Structure 1
């Protein structure tokens, strides 16, 4: 299995509901380093997993609507705790949709997997993996 990972970041504000979140129930900010890993069993005819430039562009396109936003005010997230795990899944879903739509070019048709990792600090992160 081969993989390529691209990295970006996103800055958000949000709050959580539930005693388990302690002080994070109050509005607070977070800067996530976001890794998107694209997987395939064989390299394409050009010897690559995916076009890194296109992968970087599409990751930025998925993150841009969330960047510098209060996620408590994003209608599609209403009533949801936008935990690191939840956001990893949301980014993975959006990237998978863009891959299916052809945004990563014809060479991306051989991709079989995607993993999105949000690093909330240097000691904690969450990953969501999707089959493609």
Structure 2
């Protein structure tokens, strides 16, 4: 007989990418105050302690991929200064925006935790993680 560990989680991960342009406000950002582009790789992990009964999955991988693609389409090939005119669209900030979009898209279809990891290069990334049960955040 298998016994699940209290902290054990199943995880399903998907990946997509977007290309954006933006600049930052504040001397702390140095040369990034100038308009520049970035190609982000976006990893999203869906985590839950139990598989969906009878299906034995965390979430449908095709459905999850479509949700992420739909969320990223809002930002792909966009100048983020125009999408979020009053914000510094740092990698951390964008992680939360992507999380919010995915959480809204899967409300009622997934109950667990979502982790968004946004890679701005092969060396640097930021992430945001949160629960999506009864997700209702308005952004």
Q: Does TM, normalized by the shorter one, top 0.5?
A: yes
- Among 72, 77, 80, the alignment partner of 2:87 is 80
SS at match of 1:57: helix
Pair member with larger Rg: 2
**1:27 is the counterpart of 2:27:** no
The residue number in structure 1 matching 2:49 is 41
Distance 2:29 2:45 in 1: 29
What stretches of structure 2 of length at least 5 have no aligned partner?
A: 1-8, 133-139
The residue number in structure 1 matching 2:118 is 118
Give CA deviations for 1:31-83 in whole Å, capped at 9, x if unaligned. Answer: 00000110110011211111000000000000001100111111xx1210000
Q: Whose RCO is larger (CA < 8 A, sep 6+)?
A: 1
What stretches of structure 1 of length at least 5 have no aligned partner?
A: none
Distance 2:58 2:65 in 1: 13
Which structure has greater helix proportion? 1
* Equivalenced residues, count: 123
Give CA deviations for 1:6-25 in whole Å, capped at 9, x if unaligned. Answer: 00000000000011111000
- Among 56, 62, 66, the alignment partner of 1:57 is 66
